[in-house]
């Protein structure tokens, strides 16, 4: 699935470059190490056209186990455990203060979670989906001169909302966070492209 997403992103990039005069674009790929450590993955593709150099758009696909220690006390007290984030998605918009697309940025993002969680008292699992709209802020830093490798620490704040009624077993509800935040550190690499449209 990741290979298909990468291929699709390159096709979209190629189409977006057509018909533009002497333009420069930036395509970046980002990885979040945390899900890999937890037995999953997180891959993001980011694109910024030269016509709007202070704006970037990103899409992510990710999957991860979720340690019981990170569950809220309310859900642990109800007997919930072993939450898994199945294949899920996110979209982002980033607004920078400079045309180099470096330093501080902010913008909205939306996460779509597909979750699976077990209720210990019944030894059964349920699967449900939530949506998490949020506001995000971060900082893109290129630590190595002449190498387009960067680190991107960020934080977001929002509210997670259930989109179905499958987040319960025997009337015991798994509660989503009404006020939530995420801290993350992405590692990325950027590629710059120039295109020339042949004159007629």
In a domain, 104, yes or no: yes
Domain that holds residue 151: 26-68+85-116+129-156+185-195
Give pLDDT tens digits for 112-169. Answer: 999 999 999 999 999 999 999 999 999 999 999 889 999 999 999 999 999 998 999 9
In a domain, 178, yes or no: no
In a domain, 141, yes or no: yes
In a domain, 166, yes or no: no
Q: Please name the helix (run of DSSP H) or strand (run of DSSP E) that holds residue 76, with its range, or none.
A: helix 73-77
In a domain, 152, yes or no: yes
Cα Rg, the chain, nearest whole Å? 20
In a domain, 21, yes or no: no
pLDDT above 70 (res 50): yes
pLDDT above 50 (res 13): no
Residues 97/105, Cβ–Cβ less than 8 Å: yes
In a domain, 102, yes or no: yes
pLDDT above 50 (res 22): no
Q: What is the DSSP string of 134-167?
A: EEEEEEEB--STT--EEEEEEEEEE--EE-SS-S
Q: Report pTM.
A: 0.82
Higher pLDDT, 53 or 28: 28
pLDDT above 70 (res 31): yes
In a domain, 56, yes or no: yes
Number of domains in the chain: 1
């Amino acid at each position: 699935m990741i290979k298909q997403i990468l291929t699709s992103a390159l096709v979209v990039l190629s189409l977006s470059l057509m018909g533009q005069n002497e333009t420069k674009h930036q395509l970046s790929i980002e990885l979040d190490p945390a899900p890999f450590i937890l037995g999953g993955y997180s891959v993001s593709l980011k694109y910024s056209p030269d016509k709007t150099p202070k704006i970037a758009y990103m899409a992510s696909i990710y999957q991860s186990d979720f340690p019981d220690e990170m569950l809220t006390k309310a859900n642990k007290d109800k007997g919930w455990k072993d939450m898994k984030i199945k294949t899920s998605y996110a979209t982002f918009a980033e607004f920078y203060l400079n045309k180099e697309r470096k330093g501080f940025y902010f913008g909205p993002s939306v996460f779509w979670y597909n979750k699976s969680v077990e209720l210990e008292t019944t030894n059964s699992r349920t699967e449900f989906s939530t949506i998490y709209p949020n506001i995000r802020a971060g900082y893109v830093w290129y630590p190595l001169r002449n190498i387009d490798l960067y680190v991107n620490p960020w934080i977001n704040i929002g509210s997670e909302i259930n989109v179905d009624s499958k987040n319960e077993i025997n009337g015991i509800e798994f509660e989503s966070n009404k006020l939530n935040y995420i801290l993350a550190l992405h590692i990325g690499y950027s590629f710059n492209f120039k295109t020339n449209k042949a004159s007629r």
